[in-house]
Amino acid sequence: MNKDVRICIIGGGPAGLSAGMYLEKKGYFNYEILERLDRVGGKCWSPTYNGRRYEMGAIMGVPSYYAVHDVEEFCGITHDGPKLNRNYKNSRGDVIEPFEPKKNILKIPRLLKMKKQVKKLGEILETKYKGYDVNGHRGVAEGRYEGFSQVNAKRERVEGVNPNLKDLTLPFNEFCKLNGVELIQDIWIGPYTSFGYGYFDEIPAAYVLKYLDFQTCMNFVKINLWTWKEGTQYIWEQLNAHLKNPAVLNSRIEKIERTEDKVYVTVNGEVKEYDKLIVTAPLYIPGTRMDGQKGFVEYCDAREDEKELFSKIDYERYDVLAVETKPEDHPEISYYVFDNMTKERLGHMMVYYRRWKDTKDQVITTYALRKHKDTKEIPYEDCKKTVLEDLKTMHNPASNVINEWSVYYFPHVFSKDYADGWYDKVEAMQDKYNTFYAGEIMSFGDMDETAEYSYELVERFF
Who contacts 447 (Cβ-Cβ below 8 Å, separation ≥6)? Answer: 14, 43, 44, 58, 61, 65, 68, 232, 235
In this predicted structure, the answer to whether residue 135 has a pLDDT above a threshold of 90 is yes
Same domain flag for 293 and 201: no
Looking at the fold, whether 178 and 143 belong to one and the same domain comes out as yes
Position 152 scores a pLDDT of 81
- Given this model, what pLDDT does residue 218 score? 95
The residue among 168, 198, 220 that closes a domain is: 220
292 plus 198 within the same structural domain: no
Q: How confident is the model at residue 154 (pLDDT cuts 50, 70, 90)?
A: confident
pLDDT in tens, 403-420: 999 999 999 999 999 999
- Mean pLDDT of the region 90-112: 90
Write the pLDDT tens digit of every residue in 426-435. Answer: 999 999 999 9
In this prediction, residue 89 carries a pLDDT of: 97
Q: What is the pLDDT of residue 319?
A: 97
- Using CA atoms, how far apart are residues 200 and 109, in angstroms rounded to an integer? 24
In a domain, 350, yes or no: no
Between vectors from CA 434 to CA 433 and to CA 439, what angle results, nearest 5°? 95
Is position 243 within any domain? yes
Taking CA atoms, 362 is separated from 99, 154, 248, in Å, by 30, 39, 32
Is 423 part of any domain? yes
Cα gap 456→83, rounded to integer Å: 31
At a CB cut-off of 8 Å and minimum separation 6, what does 65 contact?
226, 447, 448
Query: What's the whole-number mean pLDDT along residues 141-168?
Result: 93
- Residue 287 pLDDT greater than 90, yes or no: no
Sign of the CA dihedral 374, 393, 326, 97? negative
The verdict on 309 and 418 lying in the same domain is yes
CATH number of the domain at 166, please.
Answer: 1.10.405.20
Q: What is the DSSP letter of 171?
A: B
Cβ–Cβ < 8 Å for 233, 156: no
Mean pLDDT taken over the chain: 96
Domain range for 295: 7-47+229-313+413-461
Are 240 and 198 in the same domain?
no
- Same domain for 431 and 305: yes
In this structure, the answer to whether residues 141 and 280 fall within a common structural domain is no
132 and 198 belong to one structural domain? yes
Q: What is the CATH number of the domain that holds 249?
A: 3.50.50.60
Residue 254 lies in a domain: yes
Q: Is the pLDDT of residue 104 over 90?
A: no
Helix (H) or strand (E) holding 198: none
For residues 244, 249, 251 and 257, what is the CA-based torsion angle, rounded to 10 degrees? 20
Q: In the prediction, which pLDDT does 268 show?
A: 97
pLDDT value of residue 177: 98
AA identity, residue 126:
E
Instruction: Indicate the residue among 188, 220, 252 that finishes a domain.
Output: 220
User: Last residue of some domain: 191, 220, 249?
Assistant: 220
Q: Are 125 and 175 in contact (CB under 8 A)?
A: no
358-393 per-position pLDDT tens digit:
999 999 999 999 999 999 999 999 999 999 999 999
Together in a domain, 417 and 305: yes
Q: Are residues 205 and 282 in the same domain?
A: no
Residue 247 maps to a domain: yes
Give the residue-averaged pLDDT of 70-88.
96
Q: Is residue 291 part of a domain?
A: yes
Number of folded domains that form the chain: 2
Answer whether residue 423 shows pLDDT above 90. yes
Q: What is the pLDDT of residues 205-250, one digit of tens each?
A: 999 999 999 999 999 999 999 999 999 999 999 999 999 999 999 9
What pLDDT, on the 0 to 100 scale, is given for residue 144?
97
244 with 163, same domain?
no
Same domain, 308 and 437: yes
Domain assignment present for residue 369? The answer is: no
92 in any annotated domain:
no
